[in-house]
Amino acid sequence: MDRPIGVIDSGVGGMTVARELMRQLPNEELIYVGDTLRCPYGPRPKEEVIEYTWQMVHFLLKKQIKMLVIACNTATAFTLQELKATLDIPVLGVIQPGARAAIKGTDNLQIGVIGTEGTIKSKAYADALHQINPFINVSGLACPAFVPMVEQGVLDGPEAHKVVRETLEPLKQNSSIDTLILGCTHYPLLENMIQQVMGEDITVICSGDETAREVSVILEYYQLLYQSNRLPNHHFYTTGDKQLFEKIANDWFDTPILNIHSLQLEVTQQL
């Protein structure tokens, strides 16, 4: 079906999901919305996250998307069930795919989750993990410094290493995890530093990779896959600093991102 896939995130982090979608589904077109102006979502009240998420969804529905990917863990935790119940297109978040991958990866049933304050407080990952295996022990840690650092394009260097090391120290010292879920789509941009701090014996799970695999399965199931070969025309929208967004995007993607637009989201009523 020749309609785009919609991808939403609180900022630039969902690009980690978008890049994997582009790699695994090279013929599909994406429309990405990053609400960088109001990022991060993690410290915001649940009602505010729901409102902002719906604003992005309404924009994408006008673009006739055939599937919605919520590439934001906080938004997934607070809005996934409502969106699935309301929309007449498939909706996928990033939490369930990440949980399934972590259970495959763990040997000792000790799984760590790092994420925003909202994601950790919601216990969404713990709930998803325990639905599959009630004997999993989950250690969660909020990392509020990570998203602002990524949104500013600070992805390496001594100061970034210091922030990552000090933030993760409690999890490293007080748990026996063998698997760590990066429970925020911004965090894969810091993955190398996170792996260094936690140690090579820890399996790090990026939920974006798993999410892209599930998107492919869902599109095939609903017969929504684009069947021909083409060079897709992706579009990226940001509500914040376009130049910074463009810099981070072109540092992260393998090929230049040409269609980057500024966006002012409208306050709309939920469906």
Alpha-carbon gap, residue 159 to 230, rounded angstroms: 43
According to the annotation, is 185 in a ligand binding site? yes
Alpha-carbon gap, residue 225 to 143, rounded angstroms: 37
According to the annotation, is 10 in a ligand binding site? yes
206 part of the active site:
no
Catalytic residue among 39, 143, 184, 206: 184
Alpha-carbon gap, residue 109 to 174, rounded angstroms: 16
Alpha-carbon gap, residue 112 to 13, rounded angstroms: 20
In order of 7, 75, 228, the CA distances from 83 in angstroms are: 13, 10, 30
According to the annotation, is 186 in a ligand binding site? yes
Alpha-carbon gap, residue 206 to 118, rounded angstroms: 18
- Residue 211: which of 59, 67, 78 has the closest Cα? 67
Strand runs (DSSP E) across the chain, as ranges?
Answer: 5-9, 30-34, 67-70, 91-92, 110-115, 137-142, 179-182, 203-206, 235-238, 260-262
According to the annotation, is 9 in a ligand binding site? yes
Structure tokens at 264: 């002012």
Catalytic residue among 39, 72, 143, 206: 72
The owner of tokens 């790090």 is 204
184 part of the active site:
yes
According to the annotation, is 74 in a ligand binding site? yes
In order of 40, 190, 241, 243, the CA distances from 253 in angstroms are: 22, 15, 18, 15
According to the annotation, is 229 in a ligand binding site? no
Alpha-carbon gap, residue 233 to 151, rounded angstroms: 25
Query: Which residues have a catalytic role annotated?
Result: 72, 184
Binding site for substrate: what residues are annotated? 9-10, 41-42, 73-74, 185-186
